[in-house]
């Protein structure tokens, strides 16, 4: 179960999560003009990481198969939740914890029983 494709998929989802944080950080800033709003380090870095994570996901289809990749993608939701807590000081509500448990439970069921 813990092979190269699995580890790469986790890394790709980590990159996608960091890209979401970068894009949100950029959206919170005010820029002097329209061009600066889209051509700045945070936006370019965010979309660059998202682009790389997409290619990592495509590469992982070979080792994990279609369902394996699709099941692992929601890990990014959990990572974004923790990054948002640390960076943006957002609250982790009971509903978020329940959702996180469902995500982890679904992944466990897929890999342990499937």
- What is the tens place of the pLDDT at every residue in 99-112? 999 999 999 998 88
| Residue ranges making up the domain that contains 23 | 4-113
Q: How many domains does the chain have?
A: 1
- What is the tens place of the pLDDT at every residue in 38-54? 999 999 999 999 999 99
What does the alpha-carbon distance between residue 93 and residue 17 come to, in Å, rounded to a whole number? 19
Report pTM.
Answer: 0.88
In 3D space, the residue among 97, 90, 83 whose CA is nearest the CA of residue 15 turns out to be 83
Q: Is 13 exposed, middle or buried (0-12, 13-18, 19+ CB in 10 A)?
A: buried
Task: Say if residues 75 and 13 touch (Cβ distance below 8 Å).
Answer: yes
């Amino acid at each position: 179960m813990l092979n190269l494709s699995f580890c790469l998929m986790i890394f790709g989802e980590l990159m996608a999560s960091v890209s979401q944080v970068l894009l949100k950080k950029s959206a919170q800033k005010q820029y002097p003009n329209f061009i600066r709003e889209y051509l700045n380090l945070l936006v370019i870095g965010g979309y660059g990481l998202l682009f790389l994570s997409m290619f990592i996901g495509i590469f992982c289809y070979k080792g994990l198969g279609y369902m394996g990749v699709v099941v692992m993608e929601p890990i990014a939701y959990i990572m974004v939740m923790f990054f948002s807590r640390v960076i943006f000081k957002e609250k982790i509500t009971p509903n978020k914890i329940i959702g996180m448990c469902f995500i982890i439970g679904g992944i466990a069921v897929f890999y342990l029983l499937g």
